[in-house]
Structure 1
Amino acid sequence: MAISDDVFVGAIDQGTTSSRFLIFNKDGEPVASHSVEFKQIYPKPGWHEHDPLEIISSVEECIAKAVEKFEQAGNPLIRIKAVGITNQRETTVVWDKQTGEPLNNAIVWTDTRTQQLTRELKKRPGADKLLELCGLPISTYPSVGKLLWMIENVPKVKAAYEKGNLAFGTIDTWLVYKLNGGPQKDVFVSDPTNASRTMFMNLKTLQYDDTLLEFFSLDAKNVHLPKIVHSSDPKAYGCLESGPLKGVHITGCLGDQSAALVGQKGFSPGKAKNTYGTGCFLLYNVGEKPVISRHGLLATVAYDFGDKPIYALEGSIAVAGQGVKFLQQNLNFIASSSKISELANTVEDNGGVVFVTAFSGLFAPYWIDDAQGTIFGITQHTQQGHIARATLEATCYQTKAILDAMEKDSGQTLAELAVDGGMSNSDLCMQTQADLIGIPVDRPAMRETTALGAAIAAGFAVGVWKDFDELNNINTQGRTVFRPKMLKEASAKMFARWTKAVDMSRGWTGDAAKPAATEAGGAGKAKEAARKDSGTVVDAAALDDDLDEEDLEMELRRLDIQRKLKQMRRKRTSNL
């Protein structure tokens, strides 16, 4: 039976700071939507949590309110043929397998409490072999560290693990499980784009890997892992158990960054997109075989629509829009995030300010866990506008670093970068991005590409769209292209200052902070010694930037020897 053209697909977009539900027509246009922000929980510095039940209630509210708007516009609910899900990845939820109740707050992907655990894991035999299996380096980013931390530090989680009653899932799994009614139906699944972010799944087989589980000392009998299914499937994800869309099937699921790539129609190898959200994520389609990066990028699953999985190289930036929120909420620079460009445009340039927005360390391609947010170049001339510009530029610099790494890994130079996400609304930010990377930046008029990707995955499963060619005309009108205007020499100089700032932001947390303090003390002693001994040939100013701790100790010894020799010469002269 043919499906009428007048059909719609719903999309749940569960993000880091808000939940949303959008309803798309067959032309890929959103006809109704609703969003709800939910509480961000920061119990300690570096910790970031969500209430798993609030996530569910926020999604249910969004569905109800969007459907109400849909009906008010004269559309019958029967025309909504399916629902897709896209979600924040890596964020980890654990619950009681029997009752379906969460055992702890969800630990968010930005959380850095596992820094010490990460350092210990890197020292284990075989740590250098994991990248080839799962595509991810050991860091605070993937789900595995968050799960291990909870098993070790949360008594209820540890008890459930020891009893074999612990259920683990990323947000997609949690949503599907609860929206299907929880333990009654026990729909317990994940798709490869999310499972590939855990460090449990083998990238080639798309199944859990015993070598990986054994490395992390996890007993598969004690922790329940969701079944991995295709990203687009008419039955695997069950159906909504309650609410106005009760009985409508969930037929598609993609991690948010994969969904954005699909929403940007990045179906061919060589296509790339960059999403400027809470963080910033650049995905580059590499085709049917995974490419393991040698330059600090991640290998991940782009999507799996049932034929052959498609893979991507990914560069992940921890802080993008979150940096703008920091200026708004912590420093009161702006009343709303949308005002960031207005503030940045009050000055002509960054005034020499560089802001390394390492609130969660630095992700790709640097992977510096012990870096922290650091602002360089502040003078009496510095104004709020300079810091605003530096905040926008931080994301653009990191995007350039990722593109440089992708070029080295793929051997290909990107011709154009498709963009979306909240920060892409800033013309200043997008022009800066084009200037720094030296290629055009293409921004669509309809920027809900992440939700559109989830709708496409769901629509494929029920025949709303049958192949990629049917999507050719979706979201093509009103696109804006930002072309490079800055001289290459000027952009190279800006990037060099950023690179210097990144190097100087290291070592601010944990044990790594101690050598930094020693270096500072050593530098002070060396410079003081140089000042006291005017007879030495050492330039004290030269000691500021170039000497590490070992160099400084050697310099102090040399100065001491020079002083002693000088004293001996004076004594011998006086004896004569």
Structure 2
Amino acid sequence: MSDLILVLDEGTTSTRAMVFGLDGRMHDVAQAELTQHYPKPGWVEHDAGEIWDRTLACAREVTEKAGVDRIAAIGITNQRETVVAWDKSTLEPLSRAIVWQDRRTADFCEELREAGHEAEVQAQTGLLLDPYFSGTKMRWLLDHDERVRQAARKGSLAFGTVESWLVAKLSGGSHISDASNASRTQLLPLDGAQFDDGLCDLLGVPKAALPQVVDTHGSLGEAKAEWLGKALPITGMVGDQQAATIGQGCLAPGDTKATYGTGAFVLANKGGEQPRSDNRMLGTVLYQQGGKRTYAIEGSVFVAGSLVQWLRDQLKLISSAAETEALARSIEDSGEVVIVPALSGLGAPHWRADARGVIAGLSFASGRAQIARAALEAMAHQTHDLAEAFAADGARWTSLKIDGGMSANDWMAQDLANMLDLKVERPDFVETTALGAAMSAAVGAGLYPSLQSAADAMRGSIRAFDPAMGEAVREERLARWRKALKAA
């Protein structure tokens, strides 16, 4: 009996394969870290070959445990704006992948902004001119990588985000991208079925190198039998933040979630209404089925869990992320230490690619506990900035559903509730990105009739955190945050 979903969850720091039952229970998981390459300040790269090799190894490990005959379908979720360039004929990568965090195209974005293009780009795509998005990364590869240029001249160049790359490898050459990921390239109008000629011309990206835009769930392709021992249908493809929104059951207009992983991403469901923001929020495709789109408004923070990773790997202040909770609880406050984690610029609502990280308020009394606590407090500070911008756009939060690896930290979850003065809800199973991909694939395979029915069957229990902070304390912290933010 085929009653399991294989999810490939390809993140920024690791790749995983997970097997889910139709009740939402995770049966097996295999994980492998991905190498981060930092050739210059502000540059972040991945080896696309390594992504494929390690994803396949994880998939084989869990499939062997579960039994391939029990796998009904494959769902894929991924870091969204990261760009891979490969040769259509050989399916070999032509360069390192440029990761979503990379800021090398800041000058090009500024040129486009100064030429007056941001308003038209935002009106069409819902996105601002920022190095975060995929299109300018593609242009950079064409301008600076000879192998990419040669492939473009020969007509063999393929550009895609990571789900597109994985499907190409799994299927033996299919070149597709789902609408949720395609909407992050800055080349797809929110109401356009395929990539737009005018946007491609503006950014200097050949349309012939781009994939076909398809639904997020349905009959999307097939993984060849040679990879996992049996040909398996690919029935779900969805960007990681959209997948987490689905996994949280945010399926009605106004439902809002925040995912705290490498970065922090807040999405509010907008239904069939195309999102428009006057406060530098983003409009994006939440999912697409049968060519019909559901939209979301999004605020993106570039640095969340990666700040804790930096404390661990670069500053050696902690040996594991889990230490931060005990350190935060060991002191009454941060001793006025404030961290602005602009290690790869500032995202929403500030959008300052030139911003750099700041640690403010240091004294001889400051130690590792104060810095660890300030790092966790930075999550609530950044989220509060987003809450104010959403409210100004008429999308005020009444509660917030959280997920992602960092959300398992009880101290941080309570601090969010305190600083937002809102109820914060966290599922017992916080890996809702993978769960949302499983839901999408289950619907795409016809195992559930709708995302709502899949969510009803597959979501687990919830824990709530209620606010417990006085207004004066909250305002004092926000004043310190805003002062440090100016220094960034």
Scaled to the shorter chain, the TM-score interval is over 0.9
Task: Indicate whether 1:172 and 2:176 are aligned.
Answer: no
Structure 2 segments unaligned to the other structure (5+ residues)? none
Matched, 1:368 2:352: yes
What's the offset of the Cα at 1:446?
Answer: 1.0
Measure, in 1, the Cα distance between the counterparts of 2:232 and 2:292. Answer: 27
1:188 maps to 175
**One-letter amino acid of the structure 1 residue matched with residue 28 of structure 2:** A
117, 126, 140: which is aligned to 1:149? Answer: 140
Deviation string for 1:302-350 (max 9, x for gaps)?
1112262110000101000000000000111111112111222222111
Contact 1:317 1:395 in 2 (8 A): no
Call closer, same or farther: CA 1:169–1:412 in 2, change over 3 Å.
closer
Decide whether the 8 Å contact of 1:189 with 1:237 is kept in 2: no
> C-alpha root-mean-square deviation of aligned residues, in Å?
1.5
TM-fit CA distance, 1:249:
0.7
Aligned to 1:541: none
Structure 1 residues 350 and 21, CA gap change in structure 2 (3 angstroms): same
CA contact (8 A) 2:7 2:76 kept: yes
Give a deviation string over 1:213-256, Cα, whole Å, max 9, x none: 12223343xx411000110112x222244233530111110000
Q: Matches of residues 387-402 of structure 1 in structure 2 within 5 Å?
A: 387-402=371-386
Give the match for residue 331 of structure 1: 315
- Show the counterpart of 2:7: 11
1:66 corresponds to: 62
Report the equivalent of 1:403. Answer: 387
**1:126 offset after TM fit, Å?**
3.1
> Cα distance, 1:377 vs. partner?
0.6
- Answer with 1 or 2: which has the greater Rg: 1
Aligned partners of 1:336 and 1:431: how far apart in 2? 20
Partners in 1 of 2:153 and 2:485 — Cα distance? 42
Structure 1 residue aligned with 2:327, among 335, 338, 343?
A: 343
Q: Name the aligned partner's letter for residue 359 of structure 1.
A: L
Structure 2 CA distance for aligned equivalents of residues 58 and 191 of structure 1: 22
Q: Write the letter of the residue equivalent to 1:306.
A: G
Provide the residue aligned with 2:485 in structure 1: 502
Fraction of identical pairs, as percent: 40
- 1:382 deviates by 0.7
Contact 1:179 1:242 in 2 (8 A): no
Structure 2: distance between partners of 1:323 and 1:79: 39
- Mapping 1:43-442, distance limit 5 Å: 43-71=39-67, 77-181=68-172, 186-220=173-207, 223-234=208-219, 236-306=220-290, 308-409=292-393, 411-442=394-425
Q: Relative to total residues, which structure has the larger strand share, 1 or 2? A: 2
Whole-angstrom CA distance in 1 between matches of 2:358 and 2:47: 30
Partners of 1:32 and 1:70 within 8 A in 2: yes
In 1: Cα distance, 2:96 partner to 2:55 partner: 17
- What SS does the aligned partner of 2:169 have? helix
Report Cα offsets for 1:394-451 as digits up to 9, x if no partner: 1211111111111121x24322111111110111111110011111110111112111
Of residues 13, 17, 22 in structure 2, which corresponds to 1:21?
Answer: 17
Gaps of 5+ in 1: 72-76, 506-576
Distance 1:256 1:172 in 2: 10
Q: State the distance in 1 between where 2:223 and 2:72 align.
A: 11
Q: Which amino acid aligns with 1:483?
A: D
Q: What is the one-letter code of the residue matched to 1:250?
A: I
Given candidates 27, 32, 51, the residue that maps to 1:36 is 32
Structure 2 CA distance, aligned partners of 1:469 and 1:84? Answer: 17
- Provide the rounded CA distance (Å) in 1 between the counterparts of 2:291 and 2:101: 33
SS in 2 for 1:243: helix
Q: Is the 8 A contact 2:24 2:460 kept in 1?
A: no
**What is the alpha-carbon distance in structure 1 between the residues aligned to residue 185 and residue 267 of structure 2?**
18
Amino acid at match of 1:42: Y
User: Which of structures 1 and 2 has the larger relative contact order (alpha carbons within 8 angstroms, sep 6+)?
Assistant: 2
1:399 is matched by which residue type in structure 2? T
**CA distance 1:131–1:470, change in 2 (3 Å):** closer
Distance 1:266 1:257 in 2: 12
